Amino acid sequence: MAYELLRKHPFSLFFSLSAKQKSVLAEESSRLGCIFRLNLSMSTAAQAFSGNLKKALAGLRRIELDGLRWRVFDAKGQVLGRLASQIATVVQGKDKPTYAPNRDDGDMCVIINAKDVCVTGRKMTDKFYRWHTGYIGHLKERSLKDQMAKDPTEVIRKAIMRMLPRNKLRDDRDRKLRIFAGSEHPFGDRAIEPYVMPPRQVREMRPRARRAMIRAQKKAEEQAQGTTNPKKGKKRDKPEAEISA
């Protein structure tokens, strides 16, 4: 719009424009200036970045970066679900006293070392991502192990996005997620704040598991001593004298 106005109306005839055209031209010019300053600042920090720079900077123009903090999450050795819950809290702005569910006050979240994230149990082989192509019988699935080998950043992104509410703020919060498989990122010139994960509280052993552990210990002690107790509920053989009588 700004280029069309400048092409149709030279700078000498700027004052002959209407108020609406002047406001549109001012907004477009300020936006283009902000984009130019953003690209200029990113170019210095992105020189050492060896990844896909276009993908890393995609969507930043649509985010109002004024007043936002840049939080860095290190996924190395972290459990997937616990890490995603903390990131979902920060990207929604729930860690701020000014949180409101109808506003997007969340901070920028930069996640590094996505390839080193951990999962508990047998989720690496038993967890599957399923989707349908739209054709009959084309239900596709991919295990977590295969997805980690293909693109580990999508594993963390799906875990975070499935914890967010499905409303109009969902796309804006998705743009604030910058996930990288390695330890490099192109935002070194920003005021980065490393996020410290809260200590994990290991709950006490469940009573059933505790009883099973005690039984196993007693059984091991009895085997070491060589004494075994007769099994309960087993019928004893009657004496031969009673049988003959």
Beta-bridged to residue 73, according to DSSP, are 111
Task: With cut-offs at 50, 70 and 90, classify the pLDDT of residue 4.
Answer: low
> Is residue 220 packed enough to be buried (19+ CB in 10 Å), middle (13-18) or exposed (0-12)?
exposed
Judge whether residue 38 has pLDDT over 50: no
Distances from the Cα of 189 to the Cαs of 68, 96, 105, 144, 193, in angstroms? 14, 24, 22, 34, 12
Mean of the per-residue pLDDT values of the chain: 81
Instruction: With H, G, I as helix, E, B as strand and everything else as coil, classify residue 215.
Output: helix
Q: Flag whether the pTM goes above 0.75.
A: no
Judge whether residue 210 has pLDDT over 90: no
Judge whether residue 232 has pLDDT over 80: no
Kindly report, residue by residue over 139-192, the tens digit of the pLDDT: 999 999 999 999 999 999 999 999 999 999 999 999 999 999 999 999 988 899
